[in-house]
Chains A and B, each alone.
Chain A
Amino acid sequence: MTISASASGAAQGMTVVARTQGQMVRRRFFRHRAALIGMFAFGFVILLAFSSIGFGPIPGWWDKTYLTTGSLVNQGRPTLSVVPEFLGGEGIHLGEHPFGQDNIGIDYFALTMRGAQQSIIVAFIVAIVATSVGTLAGAFAGYFRKKTESFIMRLTDVMITIPILIIAAIVGRTFGDSGIVILAICIGLVTWPMLGRLVRGEFLSLREKEFVEAARAVGTSASRIIFRHVLPNTVGVIIVSATLAVANAVLLESALSFLGVGVQPPDVSLGQLIDTYRSAMTTRPWLFWWPGVFIIAIALSINFIGDGLRDAFDPRQTRVRA
């Protein structure tokens, strides 16, 4: 006894929404000012880190490397100046060593850039591994239930009892010497449980939905249901957590390296730089400032991007603007 705005009308509405879902997400994201700033800032950091000193065989535009020592100029103080002359400063220029030099004369800009490169690489690998494993585990647990679920959930129980930093530190101590890629993969392999639980939760609510029932009723295979029907609907949650996982991984890696159980020499990372020059803190504070600033810049910009994505995928709370 209801006034259906006619079934066909509703159906039309549905298809329109489906076609423009991606566009709507994109539009909402690009309206999120903080997320845009975050994206530009992060893009800038990546560009700077990889183009300045080059990467692998590709040379960069910065004329010093992070390996060559040199004579100390002005006790290794930063030569970067951003105060223009008419304001009583030294004018805007980079100088010989914009970020200063360390105690054996290595150009600290080159070193910081190298650290940023490796920190970013580690963070991305950690996030990708953790997201993939977490998604798969969560998807299987959420879809199959019963034995599979209880096995995966008990596994995450065990992992969650151990603080992430602790398990990562133990893994880092074991694999730190094997290079940053192995290290990052191993850290990723122990940090997935939270994400796994999140995805499982999404799956649990989705698997009761009609379209999954329908797919099951016509005999679609389990893997097809998981990958074709359910997973695409959790994509928002996964993308958002993956983004935030990158930010967390940057922080985690730097904390591990600071504790001496992360990236090991000859590799450098931002956290490791801070650890290395910790004792120089009082005499050469810039050795401490620059890597810190870059860690914060990277983590902050990624967090903003993540927030923008969350709003874009789930706009519930931004309806009325007073």
Chain B
Amino acid sequence: MIAFIVRRLVTSFFVLLAATMVIFGLTSIAGDPLADLRELPGADGERRMADRIERMHLDDPVWLRYLNWLTGLFRGYLGVNRDGQDVGVMLGDALSATLQLVLAATVLAVVIGVCVGIISALRQYSSFDYGVTLAAFVCFSLPLFWVAVMLKQYIAISFNDWLRDPAIPPTVIVVLALIAGLIWAAIAIGDRKVKLIAFGAGAAITAVILTLLSVTGWFADPGIGLIGLAILAGGTAVGLSMLISGLQYRGPLYAALAAAGLGVLLSEILTPVLADPSWAEIFGLALATVIICIALGYGLGGLLRQQAITGAVLTGLITGGLIFVDRLLQSFASYSDMVRGRPISTIGAGTPNFKGDFWQTNLDSAGHLLLPSMALVLISLATYTRYSRSSMLEVMNLDYVRTARAKGLPERTVITKHAFRNGMIPITTLMAVDFASVIGGAVVTENVFGWQGMGTLFTTGLQQVDPAPVMAFFIVSGTAIVVFNMLADIVYAYLDPRIRLS
């Protein structure tokens, strides 16, 4: 394992080195770095040209400039841009914004895409499957920048306007309820009667929830509330137990329910801690949750201890996540006031000079992240959906899945234990490839939403034939891609015992 990582790092180092050569060379010859100064009249222009020639060493050949940059890099110095600003400083601000965006988009795309893909595969040839397939094709064919501009223009601005008086018009409720009903019916298996019932239930539940949200003005001052929290956490516990061990076994179910109940209870008791926590405290709480849940699973699991621990830990973490979201939502109203009623932002990665408590600050980032990551997710989402669908379909037809069924395992176990893990093996490879394209996509998204992120570093640098910022962008993104690739390989080896990392 260690040997593998070291070897990988060494080869990756040389690969990156070769790539920097290519990029530095191409960027340096991509145009005239003095183009903007040539139009300046008189002595001022000439003086500034001379300045820039000296600063960028334009009299040296490209390879010498590259070596110069490289020696600087090994001393931890990223150079200056054409106007003499330190690129290292520029990068510092840009880095966290972009990494947030890229990670948020990747995580969301993987989780949602894999889930939808698997359901689609398990319901092959259902209308849900056809719907997802069609949607995936549309997503594949959408230009990212176009989607981003659309989201900015129509969703953000109209949504903010709507938030002033957040009532959902009855027609919209009806349409959304019908759509929800159709989705339920498409997922349900059974004859026409079952589908009709699913349709009715889905539509009715959606309509009731939306009406409630509308008349209570929920969107103006949202939150999950204690009752909502209890219902959601309990539902999570039951759902996970159903997936992991089946409801007929009490041990795991009770462990998960206990985890959920404890979480809900603690959310009340811990109110003072949660008023304005720090990230360290949040992580501490998460760690405590895991430990407590392991204990719960161990104690209550009985013969199904392993499953009980898994179920309890997952339930605990999801409950914790729900509490987190609840707190975020609770500070929505105050945050909305602070940004003059326009919480969904279309420009930048954060409100300039924003000062607020933990929740408000995070809400601010979330509000700025929302649209760019939505745009970015849309593209990878389709890829993950398609791949996990076909991967699952392929695995479900394999002999060992038939063997698992022949043993008399319930379909649940066949899917979660035998098909899922094998089906995910090719997805890890895909993640590595997709991550690079998400970084490329981030460049476009940042451009549309006016982020001062790494993408801007790259595009401006490229436009101005200024290698230093472009190289800074590449060093970070290239390293991220290499690390991500390595992680993907490690996960691959973990999932597939036939692969030995050495």
Contact = CB atoms under 8 A, between A and B. Distances in A.
A and B form one complex? yes
A235 interface: no
Interface stretch (A23-31, A85-93, A125-133, A257-265): A257-265
B273 to A, nearest CB: 42
Contacts of B149: 274, 278, 281, 288
Interface in B419-446: 433, 436-437, 439-441, 443-444
A303 B19 contact: no
Nearest to B138: A300
B396 to A, nearest CB: 10
Contact of A169 (B18, B145, B462, B465): B462
A170 B27 contact: yes
B447 A254 contact: no
Which of B26, B433, B474: most chain A CB closer than 10 A? B26
B474 A255 contact: no
A171 interface: yes
B276 interface: no
A281 B137 contact: no
A258 B145 CA distance: 8
A115 interface: no
Interface stretch (A46-54, A102-110, A155-163): A155-163
Contacts of B477: 163, 166
A295 B146 contact: yes
B330 to A, nearest CB: 34
B137 A303 contact: yes
A255 B437 CA distance: 13
B interface secondary structure, majority: helix
Interface in B394-418: 394
Interface in B10-25: 11-12, 15-16, 18-19, 22-23
A281 B153 contact: yes
A58 B458 CA distance: 41
Interface in B445-502: 447, 458-459, 462-463, 465, 470, 474, 477-478, 481-482
B390 interface: yes
B138 to A, nearest CB: 6
A158 B458 contact: no
B143 A173 contact: no
A281 B150 CA distance: 10
Given A160-B436, A171-B26, A274-B145, A165 B443 contact: yes
Contacts of A173: 27, 30-31, 462-463, 465
A292 B478 contact: no
A178 to B, nearest CB: 12
Contacts of B138: 296, 300
A255 B144 contact: yes
Contacts of A292: 143, 146
A162 B476 CA distance: 11
Contact of B30 (A174, A295, A321): A174
Contacts of A143: none
B142 interface: yes
B141 A296 contact: yes
A108 to B, nearest CB: 17
A322 interface: yes
A247 interface: yes
Which of B141, B393, B436, B478: most chain A CB closer than 10 A? B141
Interface string B27-57: 1011100000000000000000000000000
Contact of B436 (A154, A163, A169, A260): A163
Nearest to A317: B393
B324 interface: no
Contacts of A15: none
Contacts of A322: 125
B140 interface: yes
B143 A271 contact: yes
A121 interface: no
A261 B463 CA distance: 8
A320 to B, nearest CB: 9
Q: Contact residue range for chain A?
A: 35 or more
Contacts of B443: 165-166, 169, 259
A15 to B, nearest CB: 29
A255 B16 CA distance: 25
A254 B447 CA distance: 14
Contacts of A282: 153
Contact of A165 (B12, B15, B441): B441
A296 B146 CA distance: 10
A204 B197 CA distance: 52
Interface in A216-259: 247, 251, 254-255, 258-259
A165 B141 contact: no
B266 to A, nearest CB: 43
A203 interface: no
Contacts of B478: 161-162
Contacts of B465: 173
B437 A165 contact: yes
Given A171-B26, A259-B444, A261-B463, A161 B141 contact: no
A244 to B, nearest CB: 9
A163 B439 contact: yes
A111 to B, nearest CB: 17
Interface in B109-159: 125, 137-138, 140-146, 149, 153
A162 B435 CA distance: 11
A181 interface: no
A170 B142 contact: no
Interface string A37-76: 0000000000000000000000000000000000000000
B15 A161 contact: yes
Contact of A162 (B23, B143, B145, B444): B23
Nearest to B140: A303
Contact of A166 (B145, B390, B463, B474): B474
B141 A247 contact: yes
A304 B141 CA distance: 10
Contacts of B390: 317
Nearest to A253: B143
B146 A161 contact: no
A163 B437 contact: yes
A195 to B, nearest CB: 13
A247 B143 contact: no
A288 B141 CA distance: 17
Contact of B394 (A255, A278, A317): A317
A258 B12 CA distance: 32
A174 B29 contact: yes
Given A170-B30, A317-B394, A162 B141 contact: no
B22 A162 contact: yes
A187 interface: no
Contact of B137 (A170, A295, A304, A317): A304
10 contacts: A158-B18, A161-B436, A163-B440, A165-B440, A165-B443, A167-B23, A169-B458, A251-B143, A278-B149, A304-B137
Please list the 6 inter-chain residue pairs (A to B) with the smallest Cβ-Cβ separation, ordered nearest first: A165-B440, A163-B440, A299-B141, A300-B141, A174-B30, A173-B30
Given A278-B149, A321-B125, 4 more contacts: A158-B15, A162-B474, A174-B29, A296-B146
Interface of A: 34, 154, 157-167, 169-171, 173-174, 194, 247, 251, 254-255, 258-261, 271, 274, 278, 281-282, 285, 288, 292, 295-296, 299-300, 303-304, 307, 317, 321-322
